[in-house]
Amino acid sequence: MCWVCEKYGNKGEKWYLNPENYARRLYKVRKEGKEAAGSDADPQSAGMGAGVVAELVKARISGNLEWEEEIKREALEHAYQTHFGQVVTLDEYLQILDIAYPLAKMTCGCRRVQRGMPDDENFTCMGIGPGMYKWERWPETYRGGVEFVTPEEAKEWALMNHKEGRVQTVDVFGTPYIGGLCQCEYPGCVAVRNRIDYDFKFLLKGHTVAKVDREKCTGCKSCLGRCQFKALNLEVYTSKAYVDMDQCFGCGLCVTACPTNAIELFDRENMPGLAENW
Partner 1 sequence: MIAEIGIDYNLCKDPLGCRKCLSVCPSVIFVCGPTKIWKGRETDPSEYRIAGRYFDKCSGCGDCVKVCPTGAIKVEFLPREQLAQQFRIERAAQLKERNS
CA angle 147/151/152 to nearest 5° reads 105
Binding segment for ligand SF4 among 17-25, 30-38, 72-80, 187-195 (CB under 6 A)? Answer: 187-195
260 part of the interface to ligand SF4, by CB under 6 A: yes
Q: Encode burial over 114-148: b for 16+ CB neighbours within 10 A, e otherwise.
A: beebeeeebbbbbbbbebbebbeeeeeebebebee
Per-residue contact track with ligand SF4, 156 to 185, x per CB under 6 A?
A: --------------------------xxx-
**How do 203-204 and 85-87 pair as beta strands?**
parallel
Rounded distance, CA 140 to CA 109, Å?
Answer: 10
Q: Encode burial over 44-80: b for 16+ CB neighbours within 10 A, e otherwise.
A: eebbbbbbbbeebeebeeeeeeeebeebbeebbeebb
Return the amino acid letter for 100.
A
191 part of the interface to ligand SF4, by CB under 6 A: yes
Q: Which helix (H) or strand (E) holds 91?
A: helix 90-99
The whole-angstrom distance between residue 269's C-alpha and the CA centroid of its chain comes to: 20
Size of the site for ligand SF4 (CB under 6 A): 42
29 part of the interface to partner 1, by CB under 8 A: no
Rounded distance, CA 196 to CA 61, Å?
Answer: 17
**Residue 90's binding partner, choosing from partner 1, ligand SF4, none, with beta-carbon cut-off 5 to 8 A by kind?**
none
Between 46 and 234, name the residue whose CB sits nearer to partner 1: 46
Closest contact distance (angstroms) between CB of 273 and partner 1 is 31
Between 56 and 126, name the residue whose CB sits nearer to ligand SF4: 126
Omega of the bond leading into 187 within 30 degrees of 0 (cis): yes
| The binder of ligand SF4 chosen from 103, 104, 108, 274 (CB under 6 A) | 108
116 part of the interface to partner 1, by CB under 8 A: yes
41 part of the interface to partner 1, by CB under 8 A: yes
**Residue 210's binding partner, choosing from partner 1, ligand SF4, none, with beta-carbon cut-off 5 to 8 A by kind?**
ligand SF4
List residues near partner 1 by CB under 8 A: 32, 35-36, 38-47, 50, 53-54, 57-64, 67, 112-116, 136-141, 143, 187-188, 190, 193, 197
List residues near ligand SF4 by CB under 6 A: 48, 108-111, 124-125, 182-184, 188-191, 210, 212, 217-223, 226-227, 229, 231-232, 241, 243, 248-254, 257-258, 260, 262-263
